[in-house]
Amino acid sequence: MAAKDKVANDAPGGDEKDAPKEKVKKESGPMKLVIVGAVALFLAVLGAQVAAPILTKMIAGDPHAPKKAADGESGDEQQLALADAPAAADDKADKPVEPALYVPLDPPFVVSFAEKGGDTRFVQLTLQAMARNEKTVDAIKTHAPAIRNAFLFVISAHKVEDLETLEGKEKLRTDMLKSANEIMEKNTGKPDAIEELYFTSLVIQ
């Protein structure tokens, strides 16, 4: 009896039948993990492809959107400034030029030049100043003594032979205009008040 019981207990009957089921369960566990991982990877790649253009647009910004306003200036203020800029340019273009007003600086200037050989030469110059408004004309007349004084020194600083050339005459005219506007700015606070100086007569003897 003991031998039969031993044989019966050693027989693999029920355990062998359950073994394949346990093996299938053990093998199906890793397969599920692989499938879940593959699906998750696919979804991640798909999500990245969809999200990439949106993130790029958010970072780069809308190219058609108005530019960021400068520091201390709101977007509305910037748009108003841009809207006003063409209008301001048009106003300048449409603004008529004021008529030229001429002021004779009489009497004529007479300056003597001592030559090396002991001879004396003379330069007689008559000129007029040009401005664009009555206030400047009145200021030129008011400060004419200071302007004439400066002109005598400017003429004396040039050489007679230089004044006989076109380039020398133009250089004298430019220097006199600069000197006159320096006096006008000093006395009136307005630079370049005199727009031009014109020689109406220049005689060299």
Residue 12 has a pLDDT of 47
Residues 55-100 pLDDT 10s: 556 655 555 555 544 444 455 555 555 555 555 545 555 678 889 9
Q: How far apart are CA 152 and CA 180, in angstroms?
A: 11
Question: Does residue 46 surpass a pLDDT of 70?
Answer: no
Q: 120 with 188: CB under 8 angstroms? A: no
User: Residue 159: which residues within 8 A CB-CB, separation 6 or more?
Assistant: 113, 168
pLDDT tens-digit series, residues 106-143 = 999 999 998 887 889 999 999 999 999 999 999 999 99
Radius of gyration from C-alpha coordinates of the chain: 50
Confidence of residue 50 (pLDDT cuts 50, 70, 90): low
- What domains lie within the chain, and their CATH numbers? 65-94 (no CATH), 101-204 (3.30.479.30)
Is this structure's pTM higher than 0.75? Answer: no
- Check residue 158 and give its pLDDT: 94
Q: Is the pLDDT of residue 162 over 70?
A: yes
Determine what percent of the chain is predicted with pLDDT higher than 70. 54
Q: What does the DSSP 8-state code read for residue 9?
A: H
